[in-house]
Chain A
């Protein structure tokens, strides 16, 4: 059972466009982390959100954690080719879970065309 669903799965846009990636679950998490992974490399942490309703900004990236801590979104403003990659959300500390293992989303593959 996939606890975290991401949408869209694939996204191809032109440089300068805006986009939003969604990460949804029926489970409550203690925190949610967003990673970006490039081919042949490991996931690189972008942000960790902990508090329901929290909004964090990282340059052109805006991350939001849902009030109920079940979902999150990533918004990119004025996308650039360097933003190309696989975006992964990962939830930690699912209610009832014993450890901090991460449950990863299905991933969103973003391609930004110059």
Chain B
């Protein structure tokens, strides 16, 4: 999917464990977005990051969820103490810059299953 890489592709966790999802944007892209697709629901925005900065986290649950995009390395979406309701597909998208309506390119997603 246009060079955005996500890993792992599938992740199984037991309730209470931590889940770490990684996203490497397309080469030259410095803007990263995370979206969640719950079963039977559409894609919903979670967080928008630039290198070392969180720009918009209006879609992030207030507790247990955090995201970072360090100067070096991939963006990480971290879910602490997972619950069954966290089971979903998590997608990362990237764009080169923050132009109005800038196109976002999606990765293949990480399917998280919480047992």
Contacts and interface: CB of A to CB of B under 8 A. Distances in A.
* Interface of A, helix, strand, loop or mixed by DSSP: loop
B42 A106 contact: yes
B50 to A, nearest CB: 10
A48 B101 CA distance: 9
B1 A92 contact: no
Interface of B: 1-2, 4, 6, 31, 33, 35, 42-45, 48, 55-56, 58-59, 91, 93, 95, 98-109, 111
A87 B37 CA distance: 14
A98 B45 CA distance: 13
Interface stretch (A17-25, A38-46, A56-64): A38-46
Interface of A: 2, 29-31, 33, 35, 40-45, 48, 50, 88, 90, 92-93, 98-107
Given A31-B100, A92-B101, 11 more contacts: A30-B100, A42-B106, A43-B1, A43-B91, A50-B101, A98-B56, A100-B48, A100-B104, A101-B59, A102-B104, A106-B42
B89 to A, nearest CB: 8
Contacts of A48: 101, 103
Contacts of B100: 30-31, 92-93, 100
B1 A41 contact: yes
